[in-house]
Amino acid sequence: MRFSRRSTLLGLAFFTFVFSAPSGRAQSGAELHFCLHGEPKTFDPILVDDEASENVRYLTGGVLIRVNRQTQALEPALAESWKVSPDGRKITFHLRKGLYFSDGTPFSSEDVAYTMKLLMDPQINSATGDAFRTAKGTSIDVQTPSTDVAVISFPTLVAGLERLFDQVAILSSKSPKKEMSVLGPYYVSEYVAGSHVLLRRNPNYWKHDSEGHPLPYIETLRLDIQRNRDIELMRFRRGELQLINRLDAEQFDRLQKDSPGVAKNAGAGFDGEELWFNQTAASALPDYKKKWFQATAFRQAVSLSINRADLARVVFDGYATPAYGPVSPSNHFWFNAGLPAPKHDPQAALQILARAGFRFENGSLKDSDGHPVAFTVITNSGNTAREKMATMIQQDLSDIGITLKVVTLDFPSLIERITHSFEYDACLLGLVNTDLDPNGQMTVWLSSGEDHQWNPSQKTPATPWEAEIDKLMQEQASTPDEKLRKAKFDRVQQIVAEQQPFIYLINKNALSAVSPDLVGASPVALNPQAFWNIETLRLKPATDMGASK
């Protein structure tokens, strides 16, 4: 028997087709390994309040509407379509028919009603539910006119309502497995505390690829619990892990030099670093210091004297972007592109200070009463990048004659000072921003908010510009018109840029690592950066642990 050249090629093609898990087919036995950076505190999607649990929820939870992490647009998920009422108080979902939870329980509008009631239950105190709570209370009304229609009514308008459903994983009202019965691409198969979480492919997952093949492709995900980032990187280099969701700049830089193909930089991320002054009226600061910190000119001058480009280049090895304001440029819709680029101009800073009555004498700055300008910035100990930033700001401020002392405190002591005792001059901290919509920052911007860090929980706004921000934030939250909301929040960003209550420093880049064995990964700035499209990721045959061969 002889084989022709053509039949040999056809045979090879067949062999490749059968044995190499072609794209579009589920990869039986394929196991993707990566790490969670902490122990998941819960698998109940309603109670999620930490990053590890949030990542598990993303991988296992089925949601009505999904925010596409790449385009940042809303996409139908369990709901085929939806409609928000003109007054923004009611949303009607038309659900997909014939869907099942991972344990085979059918999905219906009753499950949506059950989930929403749990979410808004004041006794459960869900962090996810907080986003839906309005000033008029927590009571909601959920109507289920049919098994595939759910109508949810809120006591008052909830701006940006649809986006909030990206975080709401629907629970089964009937399944005996309760929260372990899921509608997402994976379900929790095994959890060994301190070791790993094993997720298996949900056989009832509703989504299919363009060729009609069921998603996801990868059979199992093994999420090792690993807090030590150096060990995580070492395991990635050994090939034991196929992705790292978040890398710090130094690790990324080393990886970039060793294996440039695997280091992925998705540009400016959503996490920022900022400095603010204590403007609390009740603080025990001397009056002259309060006067400095409450003066717009002083804050503007400090902002102008900080070299943000150097912070990004030296501290973050260039993997950070000087920050414009509270919204990262990666937030396509809400970023105000009209804001001025952050400047470093010590001479302009000195001119502003001179106009405000400060004197620059013999390399030292003094206020109009002759007090030398010196203050202390606190930051949390153990965060090397933040300590480096504070030390660089120290040198920048010395150029305009300001003496800055840097004090690192353990985190509980720092929180005590910035939230209760107010015994501090200035603070340098980071802001983790996972919400695209400004409504997630209401407690930061409203003068009555607890997170209005420079002067929290005010009974009435202390300054006219804070009163204007209050008004704008309330107005943007009370209209469903997205264009109008954007215009209002643009103005808020402009006021913040002028008044500098927070001196925004940098936005860290979204850095991750993806092994060449993982096909289809395209990291983005929004969390989960590296595995947002988990359903369509595939492993090359060599990493399928042999099971697909």
Under the criterion CB under 8 A, does residue 424 sit at the interface with other proteins?
Answer: yes
Q: Which of 361, 423, 481, 482 binds other proteins (CB under 8 A)?
A: 423
Stretch touching other proteins by CB under 8 A, among 16-24, 331-339, 404-412, 437-445: 404-412
Alpha helices in 434-511 (DSSP H): 442-445, 464-477, 482-499
- Report the SS3 class of residue 115: helix
310 lines the binding site for other proteins (CB under 8 A): yes
Report which residue type is found at 488: K
Please count the residues of the chain: 549
For CA atoms 511, 526, 535, 31, give the dihedral sign: positive
| Contact flag: residue 110 with other proteins (CB under 8 A) | no
Q: Please, what is the end-to-end C-alpha distance for the chain in angstroms?
A: 27
Among positions 85, 134, 351, 413, the unique one binding other proteins when judged by CB under 8 A? 413
Q: Does 320 bind other proteins (CB under 8 A)?
A: no
Which segments within 227-373 are labelled E, that is strand? 243-244, 263-277, 320-322, 359-361, 364-366
Q: Does 233 bind other proteins (CB under 8 A)?
A: yes
Instruction: Please report how close the Cβ of residue 314 comes to other proteins at its closest, in angstroms.
Output: 5
**Residue 511 is a binding residue for other proteins (CB under 8 A):** no
- Based on the shown chain and the rule CB under 8 A, indicate whether residue 376 belongs to the binding site for other proteins: yes
Q: Which residue stretch of 50-58, 166-174, 204-212, 407-415 sits at the interface with other proteins (rule: CB under 8 A)?
A: 407-415
Q: Least distance in Å: CB of 262 to other proteins? A: 15
CA distances from 180 to 57, 61, 102, 217 (A): 11, 10, 8, 21
Cβ at position 404, least distance to other proteins in Å: 10
Asked if residue 221 binds other proteins (CB under 8 A), the reply is: no
| Least distance (Å) between residue 388 CB and other proteins | 6
Which DSSP symbol is given to 462? S
Number of residues that bind other proteins (CB under 8 A): 34
Output 28 or 384, the one with its CB closest to other proteins: 384
382 is a contact residue toward other proteins (CB under 8 A): yes
Exposure of 235 in the CB half-sphere (CA atoms within 13 A) = 18
* Closer residue to other proteins, CB minimum distance, 28 or 228: 228
CB-based contacts of 395, cutoff 8 Å, min separation 6: none
For residue 544, give both structure tokens.
């399928």
Residue 188, helix vs strand vs coil: strand
Q: For other proteins, which residue of 16, 368, 391, 419 counts as binding (CB under 8 A)? A: 391
Residues in Cβ contact with 114 at an 8 Å cutoff, skipping those fewer than 6 apart: 171, 172, 173
Q: Dump strand ranges (E) for 297-373.
A: 320-322, 359-361, 364-366
Binder of other proteins out of 378, 436, 442, 524 (CB under 8 A): 378
- Closer residue to other proteins in complex, CB, 113/315: 315
Provide the 10 A C-beta neighbour count for residue 523: 25
Which lies closer to other proteins via its Cβ, residue 392 or residue 524?
Answer: 392
Choosing from 103, 141, 224, 250, the residue that interacts with other proteins (CB under 8 A) is 250
Taking every pair of C-alpha atoms in the chain, what is the biggest distance, in angstroms? 104
Q: Please, which residues have CB within 8 angstroms of residue 122's CB and are 6 or more apart in sequence?
A: 138
138 binds other proteins (CB under 8 A): no
Q: Measure the CA–CA gap between 517 and 542, rounded to whole angstroms.
A: 8
Within 8 A by CB and 6+ apart from 294, the residues are 279
Q: Does 387 sit near other proteins (CB under 8 A)?
A: yes
50 binds other proteins (CB under 8 A): no
Scanning 12-20, 417-425, 446-454, 504-512 for contacts with other proteins by CB under 8 A, the matching segment is: 417-425
* Cα angle 76, 162, 77; round to 5: 20
Angle between helices 296-305 and 384-398 (to 10 degrees): 110
| Interaction between residue 147 and other proteins (CB under 8 A) | no
Neighbours of 303 (CB within 10 A): 22
Identify the H or E element spanning 32.
strand 27-36
How far apart, in whole angstroms, are the C-alpha atoms of residue 503 and residue 349? 14
Integer Cα distance of 15 and 17 in angstroms: 5
Q: Does 268 bind other proteins (CB under 8 A)?
A: no
Judged by CB under 8 A, does residue 314 bind other proteins?
A: yes
Name which of 44 and 250 has its Cβ closer to other proteins.
250
Q: Contact between 339 and other proteins (CB under 8 A)?
A: no
Q: Which of 83, 213, 405, 549 binds other proteins (CB under 8 A)?
A: 405
Nearer to other proteins, 208 or 405 (CB): 405
Write out the DSSP string of 51-109.
Answer: HHHHHHHHHH--BSEEE-TTT--EEESSEEEEEE-TTSSEEEEEEPSS-B-TTSPBP-H
**Shortest distance, CB of residue 318 to other proteins, whole angstroms?**
11
Considering the rule CB under 8 A, would residue 174 count as an interface residue with other proteins?
Answer: no
Residue 239 interacting with other proteins (CB under 8 A): no
- How many DSSP H helices and E strands does the chain contain? 16, 21
Shortest Å distance, C-beta 394 to other proteins: 7
**With respect to other proteins, which residue has the nearer C-beta, 380 or 476?**
380
User: CB-based contacts of 339: which residues, under 8 Å, 6+ apart?
Assistant: 324, 325, 493, 494, 497
- According to the binding rule CB under 8 A, does residue 421 interact with other proteins? no
227 binds other proteins (CB under 8 A): no
Is 381 one of the binding residues for other proteins (CB under 8 A)? yes
Confirm or reject binding of residue 364 to other proteins (CB under 8 A): no
The contact set with other proteins (CB under 8 A) reads 230, 233-234, 250, 254, 307, 310, 313-315, 376, 378, 380-384, 387-388, 390-392, 394-395, 405-410, 413, 423-425
